[in-house]
Amino acid sequence: MEGISESISKLVWTFGKGRSDKTKQFSSVLPEGLCRRFSLGEIKKATNDFADDLVIGEGSFGKVYKGFIDDRGISVAIKRLDIDSVRELTKEVVLLCQLRHPNLIPFIGYCIDEGEGYLVYEFMVNESLGQHIYGTDHDPLPWKQRLAICIGVARGLHYLHTGLKRTIILREVKTSVILLDQKLEAKLGDFRLFKMGPPSLSKALIRIESHVRGTYGYADPEYIQHGVLTDKSDVYSFGVVLFEVLCGRIVLNKRLEVEEQQLISWAGKCKREGTINEIIDPYLMGKIAPECFKIYVDIASSCVRKKAKDRPTIGEVEVEIEHALQLQESADAARKDGEYDYPIDGLTCNDFPGESSPIEMNRYGRSASDSTELSEDE
């Protein structure tokens, strides 16, 4: 099979050759048989002609519809993208066609027609992790379920960083792009901002000079400051997600006291002062075994270290969260049924390696050097 990067350059080049036969050229360079090409008619039928009541979300690149294909037998999510982002779309399609992992949303196919592009994914019935963590429509997720979801995300990222011919940096790890299937298993699916690194087995240092894009609060401060993206940029963003999962809140919340608005700097302060136990999601109070808590907070803290080189690899993060889950399971097994009141006073961890604020943030969580291309997530 042709390499991903070769397919992408060929695909992008063919798009430059004139508009009329774009669609034909587009399909001719896609890896055969790996995904389906839909006609615009099929997309319209699937979405009831883009009915408003089928809109399930809206990202910065366009609306997302729930749809039904194959005579309403299969539920899908259809992302509608305008033609300005077609270059990104072509890159994304070629990549998506070649990815296979239990923690990535299965990609079904695409459509490009009349100046618009569409990506068709399997529909994730349980919405995004964010909707469970700080939304209001769901019961709170139990602690072990949260750990299992985080392990799934780490596995998906590990696959992207090391399991392919070339390293893929997602550049957009946040709770809204972590979707949950019917078994509440985590699936990553938004590859709009991905960047391809060097061959994953080359051991070459992954450093990609790149125009800064991402979402405030989740973006690696070193990347924001110097425009150099690495696999550790995804590790930073994942560390932010780990804190959101523990604390049951979004990373930036301007409605809170100024000191608490930026979760990572607030968590760092609490950790140094020995009060990290006080910022846990109230629903989780008494449910986390101290030994599990320590491993979890330590690994989450190391992910958000200021310098990328001081952060662990995603493989190391995965192992540590798996360890945290094992410790929680052993602690639960040693307890009598229904006895779940772990002491919360013991849940302190000193020495927050992330420091109070990785870089000087203003009250909106922006550094002086933040690019205007970063998007707010609230």
Ligand X SMILES: Nc1ncnc2c1ncn2[C@@H]1O[C@H](COP(=O)(O)OP(=O)(O)OP(=O)(O)O)[C@@H](O)[C@H]1O
In angstroms, how far apart are the furthest CA atoms of the chain? 70
**Nearest-approach distance from CB 50 to ligand X, in angstroms:** 15
Structure tokens at 21: 């036969």
DSSP track, 171-191: S--SGGGEEE-TT--EEE---
Pick 118 or 293: Cβ nearer ligand X: 118
The least distance separating ligand X from the CB of residue 329, rounded to whole angstroms, comes to 30
- Residue 176 or 230: the one with the smaller Cβ distance to ligand X is 176
Task: Please state the separation of Cα 273 from the chain's center in Å.
Answer: 30
Contacts of 336 (CB under 8 A, 6+ apart): none
Query: In terms of Cα–Cα distance, which of 179, 377, 240, 207 is closest to 308?
Result: 207
Q: Is 295 within 8 Å of 227 (Cβ atoms)?
A: no
307 is in an annotated binding site: no
Residue 80, CA distances (Å) to 4, 50, 282 in order? 23, 9, 38
Residue 30 or residue 78: which is nearer to ligand X going by CB? 78
What six digits make up the tokens of 213? Answer: 């894009």
Could you give the CA distance from residue 63 to residue 206 in angstroms, rounded to a whole number? 33
How far is it, in rounded angstroms, from Cα 85 to Cα 103?
A: 26
- Of 35 and 64, which has the nearer Cβ to ligand X? 64
Residue 51 or 205: the one with the smaller Cβ distance to ligand X is: 51
Q: What is the enclosing helix (H) or strand (E) of 108?
A: strand 107-113
Contact of 102 with 64, CB cutoff 8 Å: no
What are the counts of helices (DSSP H) followed by strands (DSSP E) for the chain?
12, 12
State the nearest-atom distance from the C-beta of 77 to ligand X, in Å: 3
- Which single residue is written with the structure tokens 């509608």? 80
Q: Residues interacting with ligand X, by CB under 6 A?
A: 56-57, 59-61, 64, 77, 79, 105, 121, 123-124, 127-128, 172, 176-177, 179, 189-190, 375
- Is residue 120 within 8 Å of residue 111, measured between CB atoms? yes
What are the C-alpha distances in Å from 351 to residues 115, 270, 271, 294? 53, 10, 7, 12
C-beta of 376: minimal distance to ligand X in Å?
A: 9
To ligand X, the closest distance from the beta carbon of 13 in angstroms equals 26
Whichever of 121 and 143 has its CB closer to ligand X, that residue is 121
Nearest to 78 by CA among 33, 117, 114: 117
For residues 172 and 220, which CB has a smaller minimum distance to ligand X in the complex?
Answer: 172
Q: How far is the CB of 187 from ligand X (least distance, A)?
A: 8
Q: Of 179, 28, 50, 41, which Cα lies nearest the Cα of 107? A: 179
In single-letter form, the type of residue at position 289 comes to A
- The distance of closest approach from Cβ of residue 130 to ligand X in the complex, given in angstroms and rounded to an integer, is 7
d(CA 161, CA 155): 10
Q: Which is nearer to ligand X, 26 or 218 (CB)?
A: 218
Q: Quote the least distance from Cβ 280 to ligand X, whole Å.
A: 25
* Binding-site residue set: 79
* Binding-site residue set for ATP: 79
